[in-house]
Amino acid sequence: MVMAEHEGLRERKKRQTKLTIEEAAMRLFVERGFDNVTVVEIAEAAQVAKVTLFKYFPTKESLVLDPAAGDNPAPIVAARPPGTSPLGVLRAHYRALAADPGGGPALGTEERVIKWMRVIMESPALLAGMHRLLDQQRDELACVLAAEPGVEPGDLTPQLVAAQVTGVILMLKAGFYQALVAGGSLAEAGAYLARNVEHAFDLLEHGIGDLYTR
């Protein structure tokens, strides 16, 4: 019992330390821009050692990109219940995010989301990092799909499906964040996401066919 309480306290302290570092970093990034702030300055503002900072965030970019990394379709698909398709579980996931946009990887409040997005959009290094992260998530999803029963070695289908799915998710999330940065409320951005989740996943499930045939 005493050991469990000690472990619980230790985990709470870790979470608090990580949050303190995140908040100090974001404050400096908002004030001066991501590219103009050093890791040493962040550690000093958070009152932690540089080595402690790197225990929680292996790179400077991860201080900003961690929330985006948390919304990864690969583990969602891998952990889906029996009888549920990859598209089915992802549609349900983004439906839930649209219904409660402040409860997911949207950083909680409108103000935090807007600050987060502006920091990313103003930094070429972070934009490049975001693209690398999305490429990594696409590849991870392709690996999950390639491990499904009946998939033959060398089959290109998992890669093609992963590319389509991650592309759609990128557009959904980009629209959500752009709605907030443009001045919309969290509820309005959630409503945008709710509408377009259904449209996007309908297209994924049924294909574009002759949608633009003249």
SS (HEC) of the chain:
CHHHHHHHHHHHHHHHHHHHHHHHHHHHHHHHCHHHCCHHHHHHHHCCCHHHHHHHCCCCCHHHHHHHHCCCHHHHHHCCCCCCCHHHHHHHHHHHHHHCHHHCCCCCCHHHHHHHHHHHHCCHHHHHHHHHHHHHHHHHHHHHHHCCCCCCCCCCHHHHHHHHHHHHHHHHHHHHHHHHHCCCCHHHHHHHHHHHHHHHHHHHHHCCCCCCCC
Please check whether residues 95 and 158 belong to one and the same domain: yes
Query: Among the three residues 57, 80, 104, which one is the final residue of a domain in this structure?
Result: 57
Categorize the per-residue pLDDT at 4 as very low, low, confident or very high, splitting at 50, 70 and 90: low
For residue 212, being part of any structural domain is answered with no
Please check whether residues 175 and 82 belong to one and the same domain: yes
Please check whether residues 11 and 109 belong to one and the same domain: no
Please check whether residues 146 and 73 belong to one and the same domain: yes
Length of the chain: 214
Domain encompassing residue 32: 2-57
pLDDT at 71: 86
Domain count, the chain: 2
Categorize the per-residue pLDDT at 3 as very low, low, confident or very high, splitting at 50, 70 and 90: low
Please check whether residues 89 and 43 belong to one and the same domain: no
Average pLDDT (80-98) is 93
Contact (CB, 8 A) for 106 and 181: no
For residue 211, being part of any structural domain is answered with no
For residue 105, being part of any structural domain is answered with yes
Please check whether residues 53 and 79 belong to one and the same domain: no
Please check whether residues 6 and 98 belong to one and the same domain: no
Please check whether residues 179 and 143 belong to one and the same domain: yes
For residue 188, being part of any structural domain is answered with yes
Please check whether residues 86 and 130 belong to one and the same domain: yes
Q: What is the CATH number of the domain that holds 35?
A: 1.10.10.60
Please check whether residues 72 and 44 belong to one and the same domain: no
For residue 113, being part of any structural domain is answered with yes
Please check whether residues 53 and 138 belong to one and the same domain: no
pLDDT at 43: 96
| Per-residue pLDDT tens over the stretch 172-208 | 988 888 888 888 888 888 899 999 999 999 999 998 8
pLDDT at 5: 58
Please check whether residues 34 and 52 belong to one and the same domain: yes
